[in-house]
Amino acid sequence: MTHLVRIVLIDPSHPGNIGSVARAMKNMTLSDLVLVRPRNFPHTESIALAAGADDILAAARVVDSLAEAITDCAYIAGTTSRPRSYYWEFTTPRDIAERMVALPSDTRVALLFGSERYGLANEDLNYCNVLVRIPANPEYCSLNLGMSVQLLAYEYFMAREQPRSHIQLERPLATSVDIEFFYTHLQQVLTEIDFPDRTGHLMERVRRLFNRAQLDSNELNILRGVLSAVQGRRGQAR
């Protein structure tokens, strides 16, 4: 399943860190690396710090947006060290590794890592099923990008070596792109029925709710059908 685990670096600013990430990935048998808007790539410093993981760098994809990076992913975990103002489910590298191993074997997973200075942006979190915090000294919890990837990749490597229970689904989990179509459809229906957004954060909270649910493709189709039925009834009423 290692080929179905994708490391996504968002706005990486230092080419050396990209090389260190490639090295960490190869140590733990991961190979799928996607870079979102890297400042400098390819770069000789990346190759130098990859220390023999040049093949990971050579195969890395560069994209313009996070949505493009995770189009075919169905389970998405974002890493963060900053406290957030909204309610999220936070877990640890060890726990997320065990969850990943328990997923159906054909589920593509993305692990998101934000920029070195700011981490993940709030809009990046909207794609996440769960957030991961690496336990560290509260007085000095700063980890560089390569270290963060190494820790999560190591926990996943170790979790694969142990027998685990697995989630049995009727259908595969819905991909990120299908989930986004659902959110667009839902926003359209909420607008049509004049559903009030008193806090200004309605869709963010709705997204967190459904992201936690880990919808499979059949469940997503049911929800899209409900939304279409609402639109149909409104059309008849008019």
Give residue 117's pLDDT band: very low, low, confident or very high (50, 70, 90). confident
pLDDT recorded at residue 89: 82
pLDDT in tens, 49-71: 999 999 999 999 999 999 999 99
Cis status, amide bond into 42, omega within 30 of 0? yes
pLDDT in tens, 195-210: 988 888 899 999 999 9
Q: DSSP character for 127?
A: T
The tokens of 12 are what? Answer: 């990486």
pLDDT in tens, 147-183: 999 999 999 999 988 765 666 677 888 999 999 999 9
CB-based contact 77:130 (threshold 8 Å) = yes
pLDDT recorded at residue 143: 86
CATH of domain 2-160: 3.40.1280.10
The pTM for the full model equals: 0.80
C-alpha 189: how far from its chain's center?
26
Q: Would you tell me which CATH number, out of the four given (3.60.21.10, 3.90.78.10, 1.10.8.590, 3.90.660.20), belongs to the domain 176-237? A: 1.10.8.590
DSSP E strand boundaries for 85-238: 90-91, 109-113, 130-132
pLDDT recorded at residue 166: 62
Tell me where in the chain the CATH 1.10.8.590 domain(s) lie: 176-237
Helix, strand, coil percentages for the chain (3-state, nearest 5):
45, 15, 40
